[in-house]
Structure formats: C-alpha cells, structure tokens
Chain A
Amino acid sequence: MESWHYTIIIVILYSLLILWVGTGRWTKSKTNTMDDYFKVGSGFGFIVLYLGIAGGFHTAFAIPGSMGFYYSHGVAFAANILWTVLTPLGVIYFIGSRITCLGKKFNYITPADLIVDYFGDGKFRAFLAIYILVACIPLMTANVTGPAILLSSGTEGHIPYWGALAIMGVMVIIYVTSSGIRGVTWTTVAQAIWMFVAVWAAAIWCLTLIDGDLMTLFNTIKDTEPELLTLPGPQGLATREWWLTWPVFGIALYWAILPRGFMFFYSAKDVATTRRIGLTVGFYLMAMYLPAMVIGFTAFYYFPTLEGAAGDNSFPLLLATYAPAWFAGIIVAGGLAAGMSSMDADTNANAAMLTKDVYAGFINKNASDKHYLSVGRIFVVLLVSLTVLAAGYRWSLVVLMIGVTAAMIVQLLPAVIAVTIPMGRLRLTKMGITAGIIVGLIVSLMALLGGKVFPLGGFAEIIIPKLLPASWTRFDASFLGLAFNIPLALIVSQFTKAPDPEAVARIHGALDEEFGRRP
C-alpha cells in the first residue's frame, strides 16, 4: 500500500466514529421540540459539556494554524495564552454562568432571545439575528479551509481540496440534522479528545525528530531567525498596540459570546456546571496550545525558508516529508476534528437563529414545533452548503475573515453585559445599543479593510480607501470599534426610551436571586 492509503483509512475510521457518536441513541431526544433540538432543555452535566465547550472552542487554528503561526511569527503566539485563560476565568465564569441562569429561567433558545427579552422585541430581533449570522459566515468559512488543505495534502492530493470540504460538509449535515445540539456536543466530545491526543502526539514526535534537544532547537532558531524568539516577531506582527488589544478584544471577549457559546451555556444542567467549566476549561485550552511551540519551531528547523501561505502549511509539509503514514493520518483526522467541532456548533446555532428569530418571528408565527424543526434542518443544509461553497474559492483571506467575525460579534458585548450584569446607575437602551453596534462595526471594518484591494474575477478590483489615521489602525479593529461603540451607546441611551422596567426587574431579579444572596 502507498502511504496516502493509510491516511485515507484512518480518516475513514475517524469519520465512522464521528457519525456513530453523532447519531447514536444517546443523541436522541424524548421530545420533538426546538427547545430540545437546538439546545438541551434538560441540560448536559459537567464532563460532556466540558469537553463539548473545550472542543467547540477550537477551530482550524488549533491544527494546523497554531503551528504555522509559530513558524511565521514565533513567540508572538504567546498572546494566545492570554485568551485561553482570560476567556474561561473571566467571560465564561462571570458572564457565561449568567447566560445559563437566564436561559434556564426564561427558556431562551437563541442569543437574540436573551437580548430582546431585556431591551424589547420586534424588528430588533431580526436585526440581531441577521447581524450575528452575517458575522459568523466568515468564521465558518475560515474554519474549514485549514483542515481541507491538511486532508488534501495528507493524501498527496488524491482527495482534492473540494472533496475534503465536501466530506466535512456531508458529515456535519448528517449528524446535525439527525441530532441537533446533542449530536454537536457528543461529536465534539470525541473530537476534543482526538485533537488533544493528536497535538500532543505531534509534539512528542517532533521532539523525537530533534532528539529531545530543545536547546539545540533554540540555538538553531537564534542563529537563523532570532526575531522568532521575541516580540514583535520577524514580520512585525506583535507590536505593543497589537499585543495590548488583540488578545483581549480581538479574541478573549468575543470568543465566548459567539452564538455557539450561547447554545452551550443554555445547554448546561445548571449554573454551577457553567461556573465549574469556567474554572477548569482553561487547563484544556492552554494545554492544547502549549505543544504548538515545539511543532512550529521543529518545522522551522527543517524548512527555514518557507514564506507566506507556505509558512502556514509548514506543519503539513513536515508531516508529509518525515512522518509515518499512519501517524500523519491521526494528525490529519485531528485537523478535521478541530475544523468540524466548531463548524457543527456554529451551524446549529445559526440554524436556530434563522428558525426561531427570523422564520418563526416574522414569516410563520404559529406553526408547530415539528414544522419548525423541519425548517431548522433545511437551514442546516443551506448553511453548510453555503460554507462549503464559500470555502471552495480557496480564500487567502482567512485571518481577515476571522477578524471580521471578531469585530462584529464583540460589538454585541455591551448589550450582553447590560442584560447579564446589573450595574447600578449605568443605563443602556435599545436605541443606544443599536447605535453603538452600527458605529462600532463601521469603525472596525474601516480599520480592518482600509487600504485593501479585492480583485473581482480578474477584470476589475475594489479598492477600500484608508479613512482612519495609521496610528489608530495599529490597534486591533475590535478594540477600535468598541472604543466608539460604548461611549456612543451610553450617550444615546441618556436620551432614548429605557427598557420596560418590568422586564429589567424580572431579569435582574433572577440574577440577584442566583448571584446576589451571599452575605
């Protein structure tokens, strides 16, 4: 057998495992309702949800993106250590547990449910749902490109890039339409374990390549590209402005309030479960990324002259050149696990929003749950198809696309905080929140896209003008957006209609009951 045959066999075994886990009897709900399809009404316990959240947090950036990042930018990657701890201990522990509390108490299904219950329903619900959906499409697309490249190169092109995309898409459609969030969470449990083993196995294998001699690895890099060992890195990425804003605003604060985060928080058995996950999931997240340094630097040790996208693919190249075929297969499947674990969760969450917030909210208000579930499954198929088709263009703009998602989602943070954290005299209104989101989005997109040129099929191009001062755009776009969003939201809120006092009292009363009773 040729080496790529082994890779395909292992990927087939992985795929069968995931389909079995994602459609087995443990994923079946006793009731046929939206409440038990898009989220788990009765709630998952600690271990399942822990691994579900842990795996669901990882995208293709885990494998092979993080290794490519070390190859290209060196220890600038340490910025990721910040979010792997800040997100769990700050956002999940403090805000995620409150989302669980309110979700359980008032039976929310989508992120918009929580926000409009406080600020008031109507067109605001549709605005939020469409805004969040538009925000998530770039991230979903970016997530599947890396694993597809990994699978294609791992099989020496015998599975083409589009074929790899189709395999992931079909698998996700099968288990998400079959089992909704239960299928998503159970497969993510398996994927979380697989990718964790794959990353550590890859690091240990890399150590064997360099005879366990980290000092030689360090000295080789110091001699050939010493900028990899300090900030800002050889390409100047991790400037002080970037370091101080990106890990906090560009990732930590938005990562846990992605729609998939809401679905997991709503699916917790109780508030204590989410709090315990907040306290402990950082150990998994951090441990996933620690080995990337050894892998990325080993790739540099063997292939020190790769540039641009080739640098991002340095780890797949290392595998293809030096790894035994069966081992490469395990890592390739680990990459698929990383991409699919977030693609399925995003698909489920976005299908929930389209079904509950748009279809049930505006198009067909009084249908049965059975009807809404059928519509939800159609949305799952459409969303996966859209993601796969978009990724089929082989976007070279993955980082930019993830930046767009981050910049859009983080603008929702003031609204989420206003609902979940009673703050005394501070006051926000629906108009204030909306104005803040729109202006924050405009500013952050100007920062992200200003000066970029986008070719249109080779016969024309779109040039985005630079409207912000260069000194501003050194900061992360999400931070810039929030810097305009929050003051504007506060100012507009002073002059516009406050939320219904009864809704505020009901929601904050529920939070007081859960979080405010201690001496």
Chain B
Amino acid sequence: MSDRGHSNHLIPRSLWDKLYLGWFLVCFLMVWIGTLFVNKPIPVFGMPLVYVWASGWGIVWLFGCLFFGQKIEKERLAAKGE
C-alpha cells in the first residue's frame, strides 16, 4: 500500500469515535480476559457465574457501542450537511 496523501483510518477522529473505541476495548477485555478471573462454580440467579459475567458484559458492550455509534452517525450526517 502506498497511502501517502490518504488519512490513516485506524486513528479515531472525533470524540465519539474515541469513546466508541474505548468502550469497545474495555468491554472486549472484560469478556475476553475478565472471564478467566471469575472462573468459579458460583450460581447467580441459578446460572453459572462465567455465563452471567460474559453475557452481562456482552450486553453492556452492545448497548454502549450502539449509543456511541448513533452519535457518530449523527456527526457524519452533520458533516455531510444532511
């Protein structure tokens, strides 16, 4: 790739981009790495802790990124003048 003259799309641009990425990484690590630290046969409302932890953070991850993603979309539309 010779990308001189094109912006680096790996770098988040706006505040909402940064918040999306930050939220994404925190929740991802909570499910990916955090689950290894709650690996005990403990019931939470009758369900295994590992299951509740991973799915709970998964839901938090989804709602947070949905919120930030909508903000990014509004920003895009505003930048395009729509």
Contacts of A425 in B (CB 8 A): 3
* Residues in B1-43 with C-beta less than 8 Å from chain A: 1-3, 5-10, 13-14, 24, 27-28, 31-32, 35-36, 39-41, 43
- Interface residue A240 (Cβ < 8 Å from any Cβ of B): yes
- Interface residue A78 (Cβ < 8 Å from any Cβ of B): yes
Contacts of B2 in A (CB 8 A): 427, 498-499, 501, 504
Inter-subunit contact B69/A81 (CB<8 Å): no
In the bound complex, CA of A172 to CA of B51 (Å): 36
Inter-subunit contact B3/A508 (CB<8 Å): yes
* A-side interface size class: 35 or more
Inter-subunit contact B59/A286 (CB<8 Å): yes
Given A230-B50, A422-B7; A518-B70 close (CB under 8 Å): no
* Residues in A391-418 with C-beta less than 8 Å from chain B: 418
Closest chain A CB from B45 CB (angstroms): 7
Contacts of A427 in B (CB 8 A): 1-2
Inter-subunit contact A517/B1 (CB<8 Å): no
Closest chain A CB from B81 CB (angstroms): 10
Contacts of B66 in A (CB 8 A): 279-280
Inter-subunit contact B24/A423 (CB<8 Å): no
The closest CB in chain B to the CB of A428 belongs to B1
- Interface residue A122 (Cβ < 8 Å from any Cβ of B): no
In the bound complex, CA of A84 to CA of B62 (Å): 10
In the bound complex, CA of A492 to CA of B45 (Å): 54
Contacts of A222 in B (CB 8 A): 41
Inter-subunit contact B14/A519 (CB<8 Å): yes
The closest CB in chain A to the CB of B10 belongs to A423
* Residues in A173-222 with C-beta less than 8 Å from chain B: 213-219, 222
Inter-subunit contact A78/B6 (CB<8 Å): no
Inter-subunit contact A231/B50 (CB<8 Å): yes
Inter-subunit contact A422/B9 (CB<8 Å): yes
Inter-subunit contact A81/B79 (CB<8 Å): no
Given A422-B9, A518-B75; A286-B40 close (CB under 8 Å): no
Inter-subunit contact B3/A515 (CB<8 Å): no
Partner of A75, one of B24, B50, B62: B50
Inter-subunit contact B43/A82 (CB<8 Å): no
- Interface residue A89 (Cβ < 8 Å from any Cβ of B): yes
Inter-subunit contact B61/A85 (CB<8 Å): yes
- Interface residue A293 (Cβ < 8 Å from any Cβ of B): yes
Closest chain A CB from B77 CB (angstroms): 9
Closest chain A CB from B71 CB (angstroms): 11
Inter-subunit contact A519/B79 (CB<8 Å): yes
- Interface residue A335 (Cβ < 8 Å from any Cβ of B): no
Q: Top 5 closest A-B pairs, CB basis?
A: A214-B46, A78-B54, A229-B41, A424-B8, A215-B46
Q: List 30 A-B contacts (CB under 8 A).
A: A78-B35, A78-B50, A78-B54, A78-B55, A82-B31, A82-B54, A82-B58, A89-B24, A89-B61, A214-B46, A214-B47, A218-B43, A218-B46, A230-B41, A276-B73, A282-B58, A282-B62, A286-B55, A286-B58, A290-B55, A293-B47, A418-B1, A422-B6, A423-B10, A504-B2, A508-B6, A511-B6, A518-B14, A519-B13, A519-B14
Residues of B within 8 A of A (CB): 1-3, 5-10, 13-14, 24, 27-28, 31-32, 35-36, 39-41, 43, 45-48, 50-51, 53-55, 58-59, 61-62, 65-66, 69-70, 73, 75-76, 79-80
Given contacts A78-B31, A90-B24, list 15 more A-B pairs with CB under 8 A: A81-B31, A81-B58, A84-B58, A89-B24, A216-B46, A286-B55, A293-B51, A422-B3, A422-B8, A423-B8, A423-B9, A504-B3, A508-B1, A512-B6, A516-B6
